[in-house]
A and B are shown apart, each in its own frame.
Chain A
Amino acid sequence: MGSLNVAARSSNFCEWDFKPDVLPTRSRYNTKIINSNRTSAGMANNLHIVELIDTNTKKKDSSRFEFIKIKGKELIEMHKKLVNLDKIGKLQHFKEGWNGNNGLSFDISLVNLFSEIINNLDRQPDIAPTGRKSLQIQYELEDKSYLGFEIFADRMTKLEVPQRKYDKAIVTEKNNNFTDFINESLRGFYEIR
């Protein structure tokens, strides 16, 4: 899981001394954190097992177990990344007209591109598929300032709107280095305010 310091993958989590904690979210998934507090390795390294639980079916996705080294805000970001990656993975199953209108389907190369970008972002965005083979991602501040990107296979549009003043909107087109460009934009968006 990239920068989230995944230490190992395991299916023998039952050997651990569980102390479950569940983070409720507004999304379809909750994150269940299984602490390893009573193991010396766990105490020393702050290791956890994290899994996604479908809040509708109450079932866990067994492919989602991860040993991770996390604390504080990293946990929230990690959870959002897992949810976002899960959403993107599902795009490959979309069929033409998936939104009830004229939504186009997504091929696997596009899904992989989106996954790679999301996996390497410094902050996790809200994401949504569009009907024209692109992914829309967005960040918002309390003052309603908006930073969004529409990512296509071969280009990306950046939209920044300070405090929802549409006449001050800045639109930028980019043809390469999408991830670096987004991360750089994020630093400006969050740090100058």
Chain B
Amino acid sequence: MKSDEIEDHELLYRVSRKSDPDCWENKKPMPAFFIDSKGASIDRDGNRSKNDIEIKFKNRFKENFGGLVRITAEACRNAETIPQAIHNHSNNYHGEIHNSETEIEIDFLKALQLADLCEIVCYNM
């Protein structure tokens, strides 16, 4: 990804490893799905297809692949969260959703909104 600016139309993917218990109820993510100690890690689509991204995560987690959702950057902003491009050495598409410009951890209300607004790509729990 060349740009550090995430545009409203971009799709942001969040994956979860399979766990027992998990953060899903009736095959829908609960707010806990977006609550993490360092904001919510996401992958930007970067003009890749949904299928390509799903395959990438399935290859990464293999039998531990638990589920994948996606949400537009615009929806994140409507929930008053801040999607940020944060490159790391192994993943050029990496980003994080933060609670605000100054707070990283997403609060409960915003996590509920993200859970309500996201689209489920794949559920494998």
Distance of A119 from chain B, by nearest CB (Å) = 16
Interchain CB contact under 8 A, B20 and A166: no
Q: List 13 A-B contacts (CB under 8 A).
A: A87-B20, A90-B21, A94-B19, A97-B17, A100-B61, A100-B64, A102-B41, A103-B36, A104-B37, A128-B31, A129-B19, A130-B23, A166-B79
By the criterion CB–CB under 8 Å, are B25 and A100 in contact? no
Residues of B within 8 A of A126 (CB): 25, 30
Mask of A88-108 contacts with B, CB within 8 angstroms, 1/0:
101100100111111110000
User: Is the CB–CB distance between B37 and A129 below 8 Å?
Assistant: no
Interface size class of B (residues with CB under 8 A): 20 to 34
- On chain A, the residues within 8 Å of B116 by CB distance are 164
Q: Is A9 an interface residue (CB 8 A)?
A: no
CA distance in complex: A143, B26 (Å): 17
Q: Which residues from chain B sit less than 8 Å from chain A, CB to CB?
A: 15-17, 19-26, 30-33, 35-38, 40-41, 61, 64, 66, 79, 105, 107-109, 112-113, 116
* A186 contacts the other chain (CB 8 A): no
State whether A161 touches B109 (Cβ < 8 A).
yes
In contact, A130 and B32 (Cβ under 8 angstroms): yes
Residues in B whose Cβ lies below 8 Å from that of A103 = 36-37
Nearest residue, chain A, Cβ from B66:
A100
Q: Is the CB of A127 within 8 A of B15?
A: no
Q: Do A130 and B35 form a contact, CB below 8 Å, given A28-B20, A91-B21, A94-B19?
A: yes
The answer to whether B36 and A132 have CB atoms under 8 Å apart is yes
Rounded to whole angstroms, the CA-CA distance of A169 and B80 in the bound complex is 14
The complex places the Cα of A88 from the Cα of B21 at a distance, in Å, of: 8
Chain B residues, Cβ within 8 Å of A138:
25, 30-31
CB of B18, distance to nearest CB on chain A (Å):
8
Instruction: Give the interface size bracket for A toward B.
Output: 35 or more
Docked CA distance A100–B31 (Å): 16
CB B100 to nearest CB in A, in angstroms, measures 15
Asked if residues A132 and B35 are in contact (CB atoms below 8 Å), the reply is: yes
Bound complex: CA A134 to CA B31 (Å): 12
CA distance A90 to B112 in the complex (A): 24
Measured CA separation A179–B46 after assembly (Å): 46
A125-152 interface bits toward B, Cβ cutoff 8 Å, 1 = contact, 0 = none? 0111111111010100000001010100
Q: How far is the CB of A75 from chain B (nearest CB, A)?
A: 21
Asked if A159 and B109 make an inter-chain contact with CB atoms under 8 angstroms apart, the answer reads yes
Whole-angstrom distance between the alpha carbons of A134 and B108 in the complex?
A: 11
CA distance A78 to B41 in the complex (A): 36
